Amino acid sequence: LGMAGWFLLEIRRETQSALLVIRYEAVLPSSPVDVSVAADCVEVRSGRSSEAAALPAGVRLAPSSCRGLRRLPGDGLHLRLRLRRPPPGPDLGFALRRSLKPQKNYIFYCQSCGDVILKDRKFLRVLSLPSENWSVLVEEWCCHPNPFARSTLHPQHDDCFLGDTFFLLNSGDESHKSKENTRVICKRCKTLLGETLSSDTIKYYVTEVIIQPAEGSFSPIPRSQFVQSMVAQCLLELSSAKSTFRFTVKGDNGKIYILMWLLNSDTLLVESLGSSSSHSVFTLFGDNFMPSSGPVEAWNAVKVLYQPCIKSRNKDLADAWENDIGVHPLKFPSETCLELLLILGLSTTSLPPSLRYMNSFQVRNSCY
């Protein structure tokens, strides 16, 4: 059949439903295609050719529920079915909040090159910061002058403050600060890690730093995988805590690069790469995300709609979102915003053509 990345299964946990797409090359097979769906596997046969794959543990289908079989040019065969039971749900806690604990030693690494940024840092307090506009909201809560008007939330030497897309540390005697401006850069690869907020406070972006226990060893993560995972977790955290589902992705220069709309957060993606050596058919994540444990792998994902805003694209919509109180801004280094836009585009093109757009928005599955 010549099927690279030969099936995609998109599961919704809440509705216990799934969309199965059997993908094949542009040239249709000369023999009839026989698709067999069992509770724990999918098999496709055509003539003497055959492809079969077992589903990951915890994913069990209800074959009798198959319906809506159709062939879409450029996509392959589509059919819908239900699950016997919902797969186990992921831990939706923000990775940084889960991993950072008081009274433990940590090493901070540059995510891009692995260079050590901070060594053997121990925190007495790891605290979440209020929302970015907390001081403005206080004026609405108080019937008297704002008692915090002159207060600033700066961490002491043994503090770590966690924001939406960053964390704040006391700078101490760290030497990563650029003397020319407030940019904090990696000494080895010159990547922007964060910025100085005051003489004793540094802000590091969560997309630029890996934090690991001091007793462990550095475990590199592919850049694209790390960026999309951290952004997905930011979306999950904010949508859960604030019921916010629309976001502007801004660079450190203040420009809006992307508009993002969180569609759902209960998606599980299952993809089989098949046995074919051909890779002319779309796969979900490209080489950086090829499964390492076998021909079938599953990923937790959030589904987002997005619009690029570079080169004045979608300017009117971006202006409207920026002035909308229901839209939450996410700030990252400008270079990371461009990386994220590239990741979004590659993910969209990896989907079957019929699943790439919704109204005027592009669709993307962001794994974490």
Q: What is the pLDDT of residue 2?
A: 45
**366 vs 339, residue with greater confidence:** 339
Of residues 6 and 174, more confidence is placed in 6
The answer to whether residue 93 scores a pLDDT higher than 60 is no
Residue 218 confidence (pLDDT): 83
Q: What is the pLDDT of residues 24-58, one digit of tens each?
A: 654 455 667 788 999 999 988 877 778 888 898 88
**Residues composing the chain:** 368
Domains of the chain in sequence order = 6-83 (2.60.40), 96-213 (no CATH), 234-266+295-367 (no CATH)
pLDDT range class, residue 173, cuts 50, 70, 90: low
Reported confidence tier of residue 273, pLDDT bands at 50, 70, 90: low
pLDDT at position 176, please?
A: 54
| pLDDT at residue 136, as a whole number | 60
Q: E strand or H helix at 239, and its extent?
A: helix 223-242
Q: What is the pLDDT of residue 53?
A: 86
| Of 128, 147, 129, nearest in space to 139 by CA | 147
* Residue 178: pLDDT over 80: no
Global pTM reads 0.85
Residue 253 has pLDDT above 90, yes or no: yes
Average pLDDT, the chain: 83
